[in-house]
A and B are shown apart, each in its own frame.
Chain A
């Protein structure tokens, strides 16, 4: 059996028999009654969810910024003491000479 030809034949059959567009009686009334029966959107509920999510995101960002700032300060402090120690080590002989000269 030639499957390509069968494929083409069946597609042609589907094209020649398009589905009908008949509509059940008063279908539009059914749609409108569905729309009318839907409860009016509760604005508090509508905004509540996104606002809570936004608030939680803000808290998370604040905590992260705090941690980052704390860590940055500690690193800066560590860097300061290292530089002072380095200065002292480099200038130690010079300081000794100066002290002796005085």
Chain B
């Protein structure tokens, strides 16, 4: 019979490190999906996920079981991703590459008839990845959590450790930052 999270965590806390493996197996998919929102290269994603689980193992004594383990782990994952973004902040400007042919075509279609530029197109996904890569770490985090994952402000405050007011201020600045990047792309393309 499968043991519950609480039983596994209690066993790990009592020194049975092997009981951590089922927890890794159960949640690694979610942690990978979260890490892929912030890192593009698969080697970086794996490094982030590995760090998340090592931190989780080390900090497990601090987990009091008041909230589900999954919430605690995902908070740790998002904070680790944020640390990763801050650590790679200097690469932000250099990683931006010129728009590819399909991305240019998608933008052209959008400029002529916005309704005909499908958001399901691969080019749109690549373009949004490029725009997100140019955002500052707090802006990228808040746009991802608030607009893409559509999480409530209070939940974002809990995940990030920021106050509700700070989340709102950073969301406002993040939207402005994103708009500036889009304006620059449009200017480079059409002027």
CA A86 to CA B150, docked complex, whole Å: 80
Output the least CB separation between B115 and chain A (Å): 10
- Of the candidates B29, B53, B120, B182, which one forms a contact with A13 in the assembled complex, judged by CB atoms under 8 Å apart? B120
Which of chain A's residues have a CB closer than 8 A to the CB of B37?
A: 19
Number of interface residues, chain B, beta carbon within 8 A = 43
Distance (whole angstroms) from the CB of A56 to the closest CB of chain B: 27
- CB nearest neighbor in B for A41: B58
Contact among A11, A30, A32 for B128, CB-based, below 8 A = A11
Interchain CB contact under 8 A, A15 and B150 = yes
Contact with A along B108-146 (1 / 0, CB 8 A): 001100100101110011011001100000000001000
- Contact present for A31 and B114 (CB under 8 Å): no
Q: Is the CB of A7 within 8 A of B175?
A: yes
B170 within 8 A of A: no
Q: A5-B114, A6-B110, A10-B131 are in contact. Are A16 and B120 (CB under 8 A)?
A: yes
Beyond A10-B127, A27-B28, A28-B21, is A15–B148 a contact (Cβ under 8 Å)?
yes
- Restricting to A1-50, which residues have a CB under 8 Å from any CB of B? 1-7, 9-24, 27-28, 30-32, 34-36
Q: A13-B121, A28-B25 are in contact. Are A35 and B17 (CB under 8 A)?
A: yes
Known A-B contacts A11-B128, A14-B128, A30-B50; the reply to A1 vs B190 at CB < 8 A is yes
Interface SS of chain B: helix
Q: Distance in Å from the Cβ of B127 to the closest Cβ of chain A?
A: 6
Asked whether, in the complex, the Cβ of B148 is within 8 Å of the Cβ of A35, the reply is no
Residue of A nearest to B132 (CB): A14
Chain B residue at minimal CB-CB distance from A15: B148
B49 an interface residue at 8 Å Cβ cutoff? yes
CB-CB contacts below 8 Å: B177-191 with A: 178-179, 182-183, 186, 190
On whether the beta carbons of A13 and B24 are closer than 8 Å, the reply is no
Q: Given contacts A11-B147, A14-B132, A21-B32, list 17 more A-B pairs with CB under 8 A.
A: A3-B179, A5-B114, A6-B110, A6-B186, A7-B175, A9-B119, A9-B124, A10-B127, A13-B124, A14-B125, A15-B150, A17-B120, A18-B33, A20-B32, A27-B24, A31-B54, A35-B20
| 17 chain-A/chain-B pairs, Cβ below 8 angstroms | A1-B110, A1-B190, A3-B186, A6-B114, A7-B178, A10-B119, A10-B124, A14-B128, A14-B132, A17-B125, A19-B36, A20-B32, A21-B30, A23-B29, A24-B46, A27-B28, A32-B17
**Which are the 4 A-B pairs with shortest beta-carbon distances?**
A19-B36, A21-B29, A13-B124, A21-B33
